[in-house]
Structure 1
Amino acid sequence: MTRTTDLLLTALAPAVWGSTYYVTTEWLPGVDPLTLAMLRALPAGLLLLALVRQLPPRRHLGRVVLLGTLNFALFWSLLFVAAQRLPGGVAATLGSSQALLVLLLARGWLGTPLHAASVASAVVGAVGVGLLVLAPSAALDPLGLAAGFGSAAAMAAGTVLSRKWQWGAAPLTFTAWQLAAGGFVLLPLAMLMEPALPALKPAHVGGLLYLGLVGAAVTYFLWFRGIARLGPGPVSLLALLSPIVAVGIGWALLDQSLTPVQIFGALVVLVSVAAGQSAPLQQQAAAAPRPRLEPGRPAGRPTLGAHRGTVL
């Protein structure tokens, strides 16, 4: 499978996450955030565990719980706090800092080279998200700002550690472990801090099924698969696509208007994501050793036996 195919499959995850904003507000109004996060993670995790029929090794159980806490329990909880205390544009802009945090953490925890082009793509992409979603009159609540940055930091750490601690497990199995662990961490928090779940209507059931099966099980399988095959840096930049999809759905389904600044911001994000994917490849090509030529032999002419992969 080519790198382009891996990128397209991985990009489906943030694209679907962009649609979850619409599903949450239109199909699941009144459901408390921790309860919603738990219902999104735990049933999906248990379903995947039933499919893979494999529990994590005992020696890795603590790491699985930590990953589930970072990628789901802590990330979703702080994200909901930020969404409640900040305008959506501010929360999304803070969340876009995740790409830069992943690059920095991958440098420290994985020893991944920190390319200037990748850093520039992450910074420019965050600026593009700000142009896309940030209103001039946005209020800045200190607790909301801390929660927004904390959610980005939690997922950045979870993304990098998911690459570091995958232990050769299949992506579907790895996804099942983390979703179940995150759901079990969220379960007591939702029961203690929020009221009982209201009576579910058909729209609620449909929304929960979409968030759990598509927005969690399928997308995080693609996400963790992409981290394993492409690395955390390129994958984290793809997350910048989520605000574009969310704004596009608002324009298409909710009659929300788009300003020229927002359209320009979306283009900036797309360019930065594309540049961020090509930057590591360009660095590798520049660092690749050039073939050494023997004295007197013209460049570009094949030598005897070259068709067999040998150099004479």
Structure 2
Amino acid sequence: MIIYLKLLVTMVLWGGTFIAGRLVVQDMGAFAAAFCRFAIASLALLTLTYTIEGHLPQPPRKLWLPIALLGLTGIFAYNVFFFSGLQTVEAGRAALIIALNPVAIALGAALFFKDPLSRTKLLGIGLSLLGAAVVISDGDPVRLLRGDVGIGELFMLGCVVSWMGYSLLGKVVMAELSPFVTTTYACLVGALMLLGPALAEGLVGAIREAIRPGIAAAAPTTWGGLLYLGILGSAVGFTWYYDGLKQLGPARAGVFINLVPVFAIALAALFLQETPTSSLVLGGSLVIAGVVITNR
């Protein structure tokens, strides 16, 4: 019972990352926000890794490149797209677009690992893509045919592609390292990759007048959002989810992922006063139904 409660709370925490991210990008650029999130997450994950694993295993040299690519795709690219998209896209809509992740992973596995796509999976993929089209176009899919898609929605689709790459690369690395250690290394590498662009964006603007003020002017709400994203949304969320994977297996634990956009929409309505539209409800229902069918 406790593990089910942990997974449920994890989904609430992950739903809340969209609200926290939406608040953070009001005061901070995408690179600076992403760096701060994973600098905090890396410190927390290192502490948890030494607590849980006893030490941080050194990866073999052959895994250095795959780990670097994990940091590039799942941490650097995903979070730059994430924070950039949330500058213009409402938290609830963003969560439903990113709910396409399992569908993208299934397509990527079929393309790169030759995993079979059954008729059931194809049906689920089709439903999810139709639902995403409704969400992205705000109920008018014809807009997509005209190329009338906002830059924020494109950034969110970039999140989906980035996470697909991260997940597929993770199969290679996690053949030799535990998921928790793999995530720790990915966060460390990704944070280092984000440091340079974050500095250029104004991370230490109060020190050098040539760099525009950024983080120095951040409001207390922004710092609270960053701590939430780094500690609760990343370190605690990953720890509890991997605990669920270990105890229940990927199939039973993975079902909980479908709750993330539901909680994101509910929390966005509560804290950001975002009113769900009929197209959001319809499209979101299709996306979630498609993901459930795809994962069967």
TM-score class, shorter-chain normalisation, is: 0.7 to 0.9
Q: How many residues align?
A: 271
Letter in 1 for 2:250: L
Alignment of 1:166 with 2:184, yes or no, is no
Does the Cα contact within 8 Å between 2:98 and 2:160 map onto a contact in 1? yes
2:39 counterpart of 1:31: no
Q: Which has the larger radius of gyration?
A: 1
- Per the alignment, residue 57 of structure 1 pairs with 59
**Which position in structure 2 is the counterpart of 1:230?**
250
CA distance in 1, matches of 2:293, 2:13: 22
**Which residue, out of 37, 62, 66, partners 1:40?**
37
SS at match of 1:256: coil
Taking the aligned partners of 1:221 and 1:40, their CA distance within structure 2 comes to: 16
Contact 1:93 1:134 in 2 (8 A): no
1:179 aligns with 2:181: no
Q: Residues 256, 202 of structure 1: CA spacing in aligned structure 2 closer, same or farther, 3 A cutoff?
A: closer
Aligned to 1:100: 103
User: What's the counterpart of residue 211 of structure 2?
Assistant: none
Q: How does 1:272-291 map to 2 (within 5 A)?
A: 272-277=290-295, 279=296
Q: Is the 8 A contact 1:122 1:272 kept in 2?
A: yes
Tell me which moved more, 247-256 or 222-231.
Answer: 222-231
Q: Does 1:193 align with 2:213?
A: no
Q: Which amino acid aligns with 2:13?
A: V
Give distance in 2, aligned partners of 1:210 and 1:266: 25
CA–CA separation in structure 2 for the residues paired with 1:272 and 1:174: 29
Using CA pairs below 8 Å that are at least 6 residues apart, which structure has the higher relative contact order?
2
SS in 2 for 1:247: helix
Tell me the secondary structure at the aligned position of residue 177 of structure 2: coil
Residue segments in structure 1 that go unaligned for 5+ positions in a row = 280-312
Paired residue type of 2:157? F
For 1:210, the equivalent position in structure 2 comes to: 228
Tell me if the contact between 2:36 and 2:226 (Cα under 8 Å) persists in the aligned partners.
Answer: yes
1:174-194 CA-partner distances (Å, limit 9, x unpaired): 221111111111111111233
Q: Report the TM-score when normalising by structure 2.
A: 0.73
Match of 1:18 among 15, 22, 39: 15
Does 1:122 pair with 2:125? yes
Deviation of 1:84 (Å): 4.1
Structure 2: which 5+ residue stretches go unaligned?
206-214
Equivalent residues in 2 for 1:46-85, closer than 5 Å: 46-51=43-48, 52=50, 53-59=55-61, 60-84=63-87
CA separation of 1:62 and 1:145: change in aligned 2, threshold 3 A: same
Cα gap change, 1:81/1:201 in structure 2, threshold over 3 Å: closer, same or farther?
Answer: closer
Describe the shift of the 1:149–1:85 C-alpha distance in structure 2 as closer, same or farther (beyond 3 A).
Answer: same
3-state SS of paired residue (1:198):
helix
Give SS of 2:28's match: coil
For the residues of structure 2 that align with 1:180 and 1:274, how far apart are their CA atoms? Answer: 32
Which amino acid is the alignment partner of residue 172 of structure 1?
Answer: F
Q: In the aligned structure 2, how far is the partner of 1:105 from the partner of 1:82?
A: 23
Give CA deviations for 1:109-166 in whole Å, capped at 9, x if unaligned.
3343222212322331343355457525889357656544333211111112212321
The 1-side partners of 2:152 and 2:284 are apart by: 25
Distance in 2 between residues matched to 1:265 and 1:145, nearest whole Å: 14
Q: Which amino acid aligns with 1:67?
A: L
Counterpart in the other structure of 1:301: none
Conserved in 2, the CA contact under 8 Å of 1:31 and 1:198? no
SS at match of 2:216: coil
Aligned-pair CA distance for 1:90: 7.2
CA deviations 1:55-113 (Å, max 9, x no partner) are 43241222211111111101111233344466778755654443332112212333432
Give the deviation of 1:47 after TM superposition.
2.8
Distance in 2 between residues matched to 1:124 and 1:216, nearest whole Å: 29
Aligned to 1:245: 263
